């Protein structure tokens, strides 16, 4: 019987000597001298590659001497203590089988490639050090999202992806339709006859699972969603994608302070878990992507987040003497430049800004007694800006009906949502954390396109 495959992550931790070890992976580099061939083999199970040494005696040495970078191979051999510097162990091959050859046009030759070029080969970039590390870290973070909420008794809810409601009321939704785009059916008045469409009404990809999440929280108390969301906003920035993943907890019996407490504990848990579980990958980011990353993450885990009101934030920004591109005044949206100045320079750690003017926030946020602000919070973090957006929800039926109407939305579309306020309404709050922004924060990667496997942004939907 054949010995089973050993993952390289495990092989690298074994004590040599170890006979008859079988590994499979892709050639990162091949270096031939007269008598031996050195291969670096990586299978993605960990950051490191395993050095394989092939002796000239090997039956297929000639063929192997021409082995190209990127080829898939299977190696059987003896794991020995490496006599050379650079690695603790190496695999002395008894046989090397070429499983899948990469031809010489393979675009990932040994030199360093720019992220922009690698984006154009997103189907292959996962075979590089950087992207292997990014996507292993992303995977650990996803599991830690569940660990955090499950340990606290939150119920994981799969909210729908196709929806008829615009949660944010911003009209930035992708239409879902099976009508013939060239010749849609028309009503007598010439408008598109949406009642002939698949769902017999206009439907879209969801921008947020929150409204459905609220309905579940008003029955299960503590819930969270974790799924893909879509925004048809034409933002060409390093922090916006048209398709991204969001985590949205929703809690009954909670106010805005409780909401901030949960967000702070959540972010700290995610950072701490990554520091514990992704040491090797983080060490790489720290050395090659973002010097000082590990220190910064440790600092955040051990600091308490600042909380300031929007009004205070505006005053501080105005008093800063900085020449911002966008003017600062009560009622203005905080732009990335303001957010970063606040969290990076004024405070120097993650900062909750709370109680925004009602005009610049969504209809579902609870109106404060001052008549001009809502119980909203954004969590701003250095280098990223807004990582989380959340609020206490408007639980009073009459107020909610008014804010929906004031937002220019149709009450008829929100009847099911209003039912949750008609029947046993209760105070509740929640937030949304953009998963890609979290991965950027934790890895130091500066472009959202480089932390999602196949990015979708305006004019880009390859792969
Ligand atoms: O602030 P947002 O729009 O809030 C909501 O969608 C609420 N319904 C959440 C809730 O209270 N349940 O989005 C939440 C977070 C932002 O803070 C940001 O991190 C991320 O989602 N986000 C994006 N990430 C990538 N690309 C985009 N286009 C994003 N838009 C928002
Ligand atoms: Mg927001």
pLDDT tens digits, residue range 355-401? Answer: 999 999 999 999 999 999 999 999 999 999 999 999 999 999 999 99
- Which ligand 1 atom is nearest residue 438's CA? 19
Query: Which tens digits make up the pLDDT trace of 225-238?
Result: 999 999 999 989 99
Burial class (CB in 10 A: 0-12, 13-18, 19+), 448: buried
State yes or no: pLDDT of 293 exceeds 90.
Answer: yes
Phi, psi for residue 453 in degrees, rounded to 5:
-55, -50
Ligand found nearest the CA of 458: 1
- Rounded mean pLDDT of 205-217? 98
Residue whose token pair is 């092989």: 11
User: What phi, psi does 413 have (nearest 5°)?
Assistant: -75, -15
- Distance from the CA of 135 to the center of ligand 2, in angstroms? 25
Q: What is the position in ligand 1's atom list of the atom closest to the CA of 386?
A: 17
**Rounded to two decimals, what is the model's pTM?**
0.96
Ligand number, closest to the Cα atom of 456:
1
- Give residue 390 CA to ligand 1 midpoint distance, Å: 9
For the chain, percent of residues with pLDDT exceeding 90: 93
Ligand with minimal distance to 168 CA: 1
The atom number, within ligand 1, closest to the CA of 388 reads 17
Neighbours of 31 (CB within 10 A): 10
Q: Cα(258) to centroid of ligand 1, in Å?
A: 19
Q: What's the gap in Å between 163 CA and the centre of ligand 1? A: 17
Asked if residues 197 and 204 have their Cβ atoms less than 8 Å apart, the reply is no
Q: What is the DSSP string of 70-131?
A: T-EEEEEEEEEE-SSTT-SEEEEEEEEEEEEPPPTT-S--SS---HHHHHTTTTTGGGSHHH
Residues with CB under 6 A from ligand 1: 167-168, 208, 210, 231, 240-241, 244, 246, 248, 386-391, 430-432, 434, 436-437, 448
Please report the atom of ligand 1 found closest to the CA of residue 210.
Answer: 12
Q: Which ligand is nearest to the CA of 210?
A: 1
pLDDT in tens, 22-70: 999 999 999 988 889 999 999 999 999 999 999 998 989 999 999 999 9
Structure tokens at 162: 């196709």
Cα of 433 vs centre of ligand 1, distance in Å, is 6
What does 182-216 look like in DSSP terms, one character per residue?
A: SS--B-TTSSB-GGGSTTSS-EEE-S-SHHHHHHH
C-alpha–C-alpha distance, residues 434 and 226, integer Å? 10
- Per-residue pLDDT tens for 178-189? 999 999 999 999
- Please state the rounded mean pLDDT for residues 267-287: 98
The pLDDT tens digits for 300-317 are 999 999 999 999 999 999
> Which tokens go with 155?
């119920």
Q: Closest ligand 1 atom to the C-alpha of 233?
A: 28
Query: Ligand 1, from 173, 434, 457: best to mutate by most atoms within 8 Å of Cβ?
Result: 434
């Amino acid at each position: 019987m054949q010995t089973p495959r050993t993952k390289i992550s495990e092989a690298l931790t074994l004590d040599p000597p170890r006979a008859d070890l079988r590994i499979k992976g892709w050639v990162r580099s091949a270096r031939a001298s007269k008598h031996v061939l050195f291969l670096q083999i990586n299978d993605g199970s960990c950051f490191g590659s395993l050095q394989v040494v092939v002796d000239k005696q090997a039956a297929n040495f000639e063929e192997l001497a021409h082995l190209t970078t990127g080829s898939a191979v299977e190696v059987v051999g003896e794991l020995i203590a490496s006599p050379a510097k650079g690695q603790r162990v190496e695999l002395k091959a008894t046989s090397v089988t070429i499983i899948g050859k990469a031809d010489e046009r393979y675009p990932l030759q040994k030199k360093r490639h720019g992220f922009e070029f690698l984006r154009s080969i997103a189907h292959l970039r996962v075979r590089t050090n950087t992207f292997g590390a990014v996507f292993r870290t992303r995977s650990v973070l996803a599991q830690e999202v569940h660990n955090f909420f499950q340990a606290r008794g939150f119920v994981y809810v799969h909210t729908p992806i196709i929806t008829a409601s615009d949660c944010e009321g911003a009209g930035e939704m992708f239409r879902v339709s099976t009508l013939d785009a060239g010749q849609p059916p028309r009503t007598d008045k010439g408008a598109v006859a949406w009642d002939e469409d698949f769902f017999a009404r206009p439907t879209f990809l969801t921008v947020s699972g929150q409204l459905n999440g609220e309905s579940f929280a008003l029955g299960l108390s503590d819930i969270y969603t974790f799924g893909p969301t879509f925004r048809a906003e034409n933002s060409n920035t390093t922090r916006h994608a048209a398709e991204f993943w969001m985590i949205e907890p929703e809690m009954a019996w909670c106010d805005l302070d409780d909401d901030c407490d949960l967000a702070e504990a959540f972010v700290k848990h995610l950072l701490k878990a990554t520091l514990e579980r992704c040491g090797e990958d983080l060490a790489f980011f720290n050395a090659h992507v973002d010097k000082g990353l590990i220190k910064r993450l440790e600092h955040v885990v051990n600091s308490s987040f600042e909380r300031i009101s929007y009004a205070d934030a505006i005053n501080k920004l105005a008093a800063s003497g900085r020449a911002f591109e966008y003017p600062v005044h009560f009622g203005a949206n905080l732009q990335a430049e303001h957010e970063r100045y606040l969290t990076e320079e004024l405070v120097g750690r993650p900062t909750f800004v709370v109680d925004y003017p009602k005009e610049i926030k969504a209809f579902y946020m609870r109106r404060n007694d001052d008549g001009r602000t809502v119980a909203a919070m954004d969590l701003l973090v250095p280098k990223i800006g807004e990582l989380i957006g959340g609020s206490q929800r408007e639980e009073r039926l009459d107020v909610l009906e008014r804010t929906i109407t004031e937002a220019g939305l149709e009450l008829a579309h929100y009847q099911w949502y209003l039912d949750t306020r008609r029947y046993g309404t209760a105070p509740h709050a929640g937030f949304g954390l953009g998963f890609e922004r979290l991965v950027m924060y934790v890895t130091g990667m500066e472009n959202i396109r480089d932390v999602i496997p196949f990015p979708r942004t305006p004019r880009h939907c390859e792969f």
